[in-house]
A and B are shown apart, each in its own frame.
Chain A
Amino acid sequence: MAEIKAAEVSQKKKSVLNNTAILFLILVAMFGIFSYIGRPWFFSRLNIIPMINNLSFIGIVAAVLTMVMISGEIDFSVGGNIGLTACLTAVLLERGLPGWLVVIIALAAGAAMGAFNGMLVTVIGVNSIMATIGTMFIWRGIGYTLTNGESMLAMNPVIDFIGRGFIFKVIPFPIVLLVIIFVLTYVIMNHSKWGRRIYAIGANPLASYLSGINVKRVKFIGFLLCGITASLGGLILTSLSAVGMPQHGQGLELVIVSSIILGGTVLGGGKGQILGTLAGVLILSILYNFLTIMNVYYFYIQIVQGSVLIIVVSTYEIGQAMKRRRM
């Protein structure tokens, strides 16, 4: 039984790898076409670096949320977590706490938020969609309460560095964080026992449980990590804007989940790839960037982004249906 499951998971990973390769081909093609049409602005250091910088916090959260989604759960509270972290950071800085301590408290708060979600889902048994929509409102509400609904300046050398600092005076720090998170999650998901357990749980939680995997523990840790990375995202956004405001991260949960689905992760769990998520995040961000550069109205940008999402996901489904028919 366990062998069959492992084979299924392996097969799914292979097909997703193919999809990921296709996504990266699309990405490269888009990049080439956009660089040509959008010249001289699109393919310039002035555009590419800030664009990746601006998608860093989305990518960081998306990478870990992919793990949660592959395990068959979801976390819609990441946007609220980002907002609350931003507010908490600004309030703590205003109270005169040193930057390094604010970072630790913010990440600890993120861990607490993630753990709370994990507890609701794994201990109490609340459906993760409902649990995290509920906590999304709670986190944002606390953010509004902390700041009285206002935006607050959040400037401090440590916080400034997180979103606007450079390594070796050249590489933006958020991009370094993005790369580290993606490498870590890639290694975990593709080259560790932990990753195989996540895939197995997503594919069949009961079979995983019967084969000795501590399903609740794996899911709980997924939520915990998701909370921490969402807080890290909040810190980056606070730094990028130099402001803590409760509206930060509003609606981002949908952008992040869309990127993950675009990358080939399925809502039901058991299937998905970290690299696919990276491609999904890049595709949506590049698309927005290019269309804005080309002076396209936001209404049309929304239509294009939605259409791309539907086309890619439909293509997956059609491909899967054709495979099943062949079998």
Chain B
Amino acid sequence: MKKAIILIATAITLFLVASITLSGCAVDQQSAVQSAVESALESVAAETTAVAAETAAAETTAAVETGAYDYYELLRASAIKNEAYPDAPAAGQTLAFTNIMGGITFCEAVWKNVQDQWVLAGGDPASLYYADNQYDATIGLKNADIMLAKNPNVLINFQFDSKVNSIISIKFGQANIPIIAVDVPTPGAPFMGVNNFKVAYLAGEEAIKRVEDMGGIDKIDNIILMQMPAAGEVLMLRSEGFYQAFVDKYGAEVIDPKTVRADGGAGEAEQANKSMTDVLATIPNAKNCVLTSINAQTMSGIISAIQTAGRWDPEKWIVITQGADETANQQIVDGLVKASIAYFPERYGEYLVPASVALMKGEVVPPFMYVENVVISMDNMKDYYPEMLTK
């Protein structure tokens, strides 16, 4: 028995040592996040291009010249006006939608708009298949297989890991079922969603305005980026663009010493709360801070951590969030968040359903369909979400 124990202990030690060595001793969370950031910046060109690498190069030039997107644009015109699409083109067709995570305000808004637009397109609600990926790649794969069994005409794939999307792309490719990727790229599929770098840069510019109002960058102790490395390189840009806006304005030599990057978890409040508690412990003297995170849910947990630590002061924390969904807008109304970048998830269907129907009809759709973005704050809340002011 003793020999066995020694043997096992040796094996475990070797295993642990090998694991740590293989990882390059990247035990520190900060360095892990940093590494992910570097990886993100290095690979962004390739990653983004991979969204529709094969189709984009061939189609974009020719399509624009010959007006190949005319049918898509025609349907989109009806979608934007919230009118029935001409000739009910979705009648008799089937569409599958796998949602990234049901129950999240943003995702629910996307799903609702897809349903509404599907009906406007003349689709039967029973022919619109739905599955919830629950932010879990394993479930995402399982759902993709179930959708494949239902043999839809098109799949709208909203799944959080771009690399797992490769296998989904292969399976659907073999079955000749076109895919439209939402927010996270799927190789070979048209992409619809957010230009993550652009929205982060917009958020950064908005934060800079408020920094200037406060007296300039010298007054700021820290710029905190609560990130989500687990979701891949593209989503990392949602905070790195924020950082870049500051660097472009003030220079890296000023910004780098003030910047704190942390892994804010998998997009939900609880993990972000814990992570922010740790961040606060590392910057005990910080009072005037700029803060951003990947969505409003994580920001709820982050702000709660600051409040619990007794360090919350709305005058000293410049908080800018992403998404401008109901949660984010409520945070603005409550004075917790200065601004949020709107992606209008309640309008995603206006892109997704026309594109899906166009694909069903064998028409070409643009390889990239980026949503419009607006900075939402108390100054323009009444223009975009007046209902928030009467709640």
B167–A240 CB distance below 8 A? yes
User: B26 near A: Cβ within 8 Å?
Assistant: yes
Contact mask for chain B residues 102-136; partner A; CB cutoff 8 A; 1 contact, 0 none: 11000000000000000000000010011110101
A119–B161 CB distance below 8 A? no
User: B214 near A: Cβ within 8 Å?
Assistant: no
User: A229 near B: Cβ within 8 Å?
Assistant: no
A241–B151 CB distance below 8 A? no
A145–B263 CB distance below 8 A? no
- Give 4 nearest A-B pairs by CB, closest first: A47-B149, A298-B132, A50-B145, A46-B149
User: A297 near B: Cβ within 8 Å?
Assistant: yes
In angstroms, Cα B12 to Cα A84, docked, is 14
User: B19 near A: Cβ within 8 Å?
Assistant: yes
A contact residues around B163 at 8 Å (CB): 151-153, 242-243, 245
Q: How many A-B residue pairs have CB under 8 A?
A: 141
User: B16 near A: Cβ within 8 Å?
Assistant: yes
A contact residues around B8 at 8 Å (CB): 112, 115-116, 119
Closest B residue to A146 by beta carbon equals B23
In angstroms, Cα B36 to Cα A251, docked, is 25
Question: By DSSP majority rule, is chain B's interface helix, strand, loop, or mixed?
Answer: helix
User: B308 near A: Cβ within 8 Å?
Assistant: no
User: B141 near A: Cβ within 8 Å?
Assistant: yes
22 pairs from A and B in contact (CB 8 Å cutoff): A47-B145, A54-B145, A91-B22, A112-B8, A112-B12, A115-B12, A119-B8, A123-B5, A148-B36, A151-B163, A152-B163, A240-B141, A242-B166, A243-B137, A245-B137, A247-B137, A247-B230, A247-B266, A248-B137, A248-B138, A293-B150, A295-B129
B contact residues around A297 at 8 Å (CB): 102, 130, 132
User: A51 near B: Cβ within 8 Å?
Assistant: yes
User: B229 near A: Cβ within 8 Å?
Assistant: yes
B102–A241 CB distance below 8 A? no
User: A17 near B: Cβ within 8 Å?
Assistant: no
Interface residues of B (CB under 8 A from A): 1, 5, 8-9, 11-12, 15-16, 19-20, 22-23, 26-27, 32-33, 35-36, 39, 102-103, 126, 129-132, 134, 136-138, 141-143, 145-146, 148-151, 161, 163-164, 166-167, 229-230, 232-233, 263, 266
> Which of B15, B145, B166, B230 touches A149 (beta carbons < 8 Å)?
B230
B contact residues around A145 at 8 Å (CB): 19-20, 23, 26-27, 32
Closest-CB distance, A163 to chain B (whole angstroms): 10
Closest-CB distance, B5 to chain A (whole angstroms): 6
Closest A residue to B175 by beta carbon equals A46
Question: By DSSP majority rule, is chain A's interface helix, strand, loop, or mixed?
Answer: helix
Interface residues of A (CB under 8 A from B): 41, 44, 46-47, 50-51, 53-54, 84, 88, 91-92, 95, 108-109, 111-113, 115-116, 119, 123, 142, 144-153, 237, 240-243, 245-252, 288-289, 292-293, 295, 297-299
In angstroms, Cα B228 to Cα A190, docked, is 48
A116–B229 CB distance below 8 A? no
Given A51-B146, A112-B11, 19 other A-B contacts at CB below 8 A?
A44-B149, A54-B142, A111-B11, A112-B12, A142-B16, A142-B19, A148-B229, A149-B263, A150-B36, A150-B232, A151-B230, A152-B163, A240-B167, A243-B163, A245-B164, A248-B138, A293-B146, A298-B102, A299-B102
A241–B138 CB distance below 8 A? yes
B164–A289 CB distance below 8 A? no
> Which of A146, A148, A250 touches B35 (beta carbons < 8 Å)?
A148
> Which of A149, A245, A246, A292 touches B143 (beta carbons < 8 Å)?
A292
B contact residues around A153 at 8 Å (CB): 163, 166
A contact residues around B9 at 8 Å (CB): 119
In angstroms, Cα B15 to Cα A92, docked, is 13
Closest B residue to A288 by beta carbon equals B142
In angstroms, Cα B148 to Cα A53, docked, is 14
Given contacts A54-B142, A152-B163, contact A144 B136 (CB under 8 A): no
> Which of A41, A91, A150, A292 touches B131 (beta carbons < 8 Å)?
A292
Closest A residue to B150 by beta carbon equals A41
Closest B residue to A154 by beta carbon equals B163
B232–A151 CB distance below 8 A? yes
